[in-house]
Amino acid sequence: MAAGSPAESGSPVDPASASPNPNPLSGQRVLIVVENLPVPFDRRVWQEANALRGQGMDVSVISPKGQGAEQSFEIINGIHVFRHPQPPEARGVMGFFLEYPLALFWEFLLAWRVFFRRGFDVIHICNPPDLLFLVAAPFRLLGKRVIFDHHDINPELFEAKYHRRGIFHRLLCLVEWLTFRTCHVSIATNESYREVAVSRGRMKPENVYVVRSGPSLERLRLMPEDPAFRKGRRILIGYVGVIGQQEGIDHLLEALRILIDKLGFADFQCTICGGGPELEAMQTKCTELGLDDHVEFTGRIPEDELLGILNTADICVNPDVWNVMNDRSTMNKVMEYMALGKPIVQYDLREGRVSAQEASLYAKPNDRADFAARILELVKDPELRERMGKFGRKRVEQDLNWTVEEPKFLAVYRRVLGLEPR
């Protein structure tokens, strides 16, 4: 035995120092609750769940049902997924507040079911809405740790959607504050959201972690172009995302009309991938604008087909309009376009610039004519398209992909469970 060893000196051996556990999270249990999108289609939540499962944690998820996710219960990648009926999307101001009670009832019921059947040490709630603190609060009283994953700033969403504040806006600020009060640690998707957590939510700065929704380079793989997607046109313009009120698809369609009528360029095909509550309305608008020959709405499509379209696209667009919410929000589609090496056109939004930097051209906020002009600028300059695409890909590889963000995310769990090294 070597001189000076603990056994020789008679000093007690600290098991933790002698054989440190490489996965301190192993064996811990978590329940994630998300209402906005079904799992596994909520990519951020699904990446988080798989990251925790990869650390040996016992992971349960509650989410709504949706197209392609209709089962009430299934096990995917070792993750136990519980689903409830999808509530109808709100219409009108009162509908904004009436949309969620049914979902909240199911989430509350399923959370207790998971608690008694599987148990959990952490409950991880994701907004919207900011009502899930009602589900989490009883478990906090039972000693469970609470994480708030801050996906949207709902007071700003309400203001952007209904163009007003008033009593309902104040109520949303109140439930937002109650959400921050309920959690032990908050996760912000960008620095703007961190500012909200600290200033409006009164969170201690050290309890707010920034974890971006970094795209997975394993999923967003580069593929050869398929000219068939261009449908005989010179330029393919691509869009992927939700088709809702805030996504600016109407702006995009009007910009394309300007591109043809006022800027004299019609040799393009635009493919709009994704579903949402405004899909039919946008299809109708497309017809009214006489763009059916240039624009295709695919709806929700298989991953391989989506990647085929985006890899073939010459230009990708993010028409999210400027409003108080979009200006402070990070759009996942922007980082996905960058991951695939595509030049981007978007409106000049604060967090849009933070993400894309030189990978995008920026149109004047909500100026459809300028949006069309920026598209034409890229059409005319293939070398610029290539430079922007390479910049975006490199930025994602180095700074924005999920491999970079995952350690930050896991640090949240070590913090909330008291597993950080002393």
- Domains with residue ranges and CATH for the chain: 25-214+402-416 (3.40.50.2000), 227-400 (3.40.50.2000)
301-308, long-range: CB within 8 Å, 24+ apart, which pairs?
301/273, 303/219, 306/240, 306/273, 307/220, 307/221, 307/223, 307/340, 308/223, 308/226, 308/229
For residue 108 the two structure tokens come to: 């509350």
Provide the whole-model pTM.
Answer: 0.86
Residue 6 has pLDDT above 50, yes or no: no
Q: 79-84 and 73-76: which strand pairing?
A: antiparallel
For 169-191, write each residue's pLDDT tens digit.
999 999 999 999 999 999 999 99
Q: Is 249 exposed, middle or buried (0-12, 13-18, 19+ CB in 10 A)?
A: buried
For 198-245, write each residue's pLDDT tens digit.
999 999 999 999 999 999 999 999 999 999 999 999 999 999 998 988
Which region among 16-25, 125-134, 364-373 has the lowest average model confidence (pLDDT)? Answer: 16-25
Nearest to 277 by CA among 89, 35, 93: 89
> Span 389-412, mean pLDDT?
96
C-alpha distance across the termini of the chain, in Å: 31
Nearest to 406 by CA among 40, 55, 5: 55
In whole angstroms, what is the distance from residue 87 CA to residue 102 CA?
7
Task: Supply φ then ψ for residue 370, to 5 degrees.
Answer: -70, -35
> Span 349-368, mean pLDDT?
97
For 93-114, write each residue's pLDDT tens digit.
555 556 678 889 999 999 999 9
Task: Supply φ then ψ for residue 25, to 5 degrees.
Answer: -80, -10
> Span 390-417, mean pLDDT?
96
For helices 249-261 and 368-380, the axis angle rounded to 10 degrees is 60
Nearest to 189 by CA among 275, 240, 127, 96: 127
Q: Would you state the pLDDT for residue 97?
A: 58
Q: Which is more confident, 13 or 289?
A: 289
> Span 246-272, mean pLDDT?
97
